[in-house]
Structures are given as C-alpha cells and as structure tokens.
Amino acid sequence: MKILISPAKSLDYKSALPTTKYTEPAFLSEAQQINVSLKTKSPAELQKLMHISEKLADLNWERNQQFETPFTTANARPAVFAFNGDVYSGLEAYSLSESALGIAQQNLRILSGLYGILKPLDLMQPYRLEMGTSFGLNGQNSLYAFWKDQLTTHLKNELSSSELVVNLASKEYASAIDFDALNTPVIHPVFKDFKNGKLKIISFFAKKARGLMTRYLIETNAQTTEDVLAFTAEGYAFSETETTDTSQPVFVR
C-alpha cells in the first residue's frame, strides 16, 4: 500500500527527534532548480506570489536564501518530523514505534511543491511553496506542469502489481498525480461530520482525520481496501449508505 498525504505550512525544527535515521529526497536536484528561481524573488514578490503577509514573505525570503546542499542533520530535518499542521496532529509521528516508522518509510509519501515527493525520513530544509502557486519554471506555467509526469512516473515505479494507493492528500496536491496512469487500484477516502443536523466535510476535522487514518494504516500495516474500511478512530466509521462511489468511501461521525 502507498499512502499519499499533503505537506503543511506550519513547520517544527525545534522538537527533539525520536530517531537518528534519515534519507535523501528523490528529487533534490529538482528542488535545487526551483530554489534557484525562488532566490531571485524579493520579499515583495513572494508576498504577492504566495498571498502571504509581509512578515511571512520576509521569513520565506530568508529560507530561500539559506537553502544549501548537501542536506545534513545540521541544516535539514526528516520531513515527517518537520511538518506540523492538522494532518500531522492526527498522525502523531513522534509517538510511532520504530517498527511503525519503518512501515511509514515504506508506505507513506508526502507530496510537496518544492521537493516533489518525500518519504517520511527524507531530509528537508524549511520552505513554503504550495503546489497550486502560479509559479512558472522551464517554460512551464505551473508547478503541476513541472511535477505531474515526474511524480506519476516515480510513484508508478514504486508500486508493485495491483498495490493499493490510498489518496489522503488534499485536492491541491492530489492534482499533481495522474492516478489513471498508475494502473493500480486507488481510493480517495472522504470524512464527514454532523453539523446542525447535516453531514458535512469540515476542513479542520477532515484534515485531522486524514492523519488519523494514515497512522491507523501504518500501525496495522494495512494492505487492502477492506483494511481501510475498518478504520474507526475517534468515532469515525465507514458509511455504506453515504458512499455513492466505491473509489471514494465516506467515513462519518
């Protein structure tokens, strides 16, 4: 099974790491190429490009300027311990056992605007570059155009015959993969909560649920669709009645 999740804007480069293990990103040379272009942009240009505050623009200008290779444990951090958003609060990677972390390294992939695709232990330096940013490169007008073929081919080469892909990434990041071209089963779980008597996708809860499911799939070393449908963390349960498309199983609470 391969599990896809999104990165997070919030980063943590201070907490003590639970492991000394690390690996190198598959697309580090491409990240360097993107960074060369990012470095030419002023804080004001970054603010306009990314629709962020002046303070955040200044911070990310500094990050862009400080980007350097080779990546080491002194200047970079394993990705799953660097991202710190809602999905990662559900995943709680810091408390994964050593064996579970090994399963995560085998099965979990994090999509990224700068790094393309990351294994949990791949080193990364702090950055901000959302996949949906209107950022042209090599004559292409978007990061999707830059990454889609590369990431789809990379993921396809990682997959064994009929290996299940569980897409828990947001639409913004999932759009960087051509799922049809993978030629393997893919499911896109949906999470809904009751609010005012109606079932709705509530962003905060849905993001955390993606992390909760990711942890569940890792800890149980899930392999099949049936394993995915057995997910019940924090009150969620698969709803056959709410599911109208088997490739998009709906979990409700």
Q: Which residues contact 10 (CB under 8 A, 6 or more apart)?
A: 83, 84, 85
Three-state SS at 120: coil
pLDDT one-digit tens code per residue, 41-87 = 999 999 999 999 999 999 999 999 999 999 999 999 999 999 999 99
8 Å CB contact between 111 and 168: no
| pTM of model > 0.95 | yes
Distances (CA, A) of 1 to 98, 163, 171, 197: 19, 6, 20, 35
The per-residue pLDDT for range 87-99, each reduced to its tens digit, is 999 999 999 999 9
Q: What is the pLDDT of residues 193-230, one digit of tens each?
A: 998 889 999 999 999 999 999 999 999 999 999 999 99
Cis peptide preceding 70, ω within 30 of 0: yes
Helix 203-219 and helix 98-107: axis angle, to 10°?
110
Q: What are the tokens at 166?
A: 């569980």
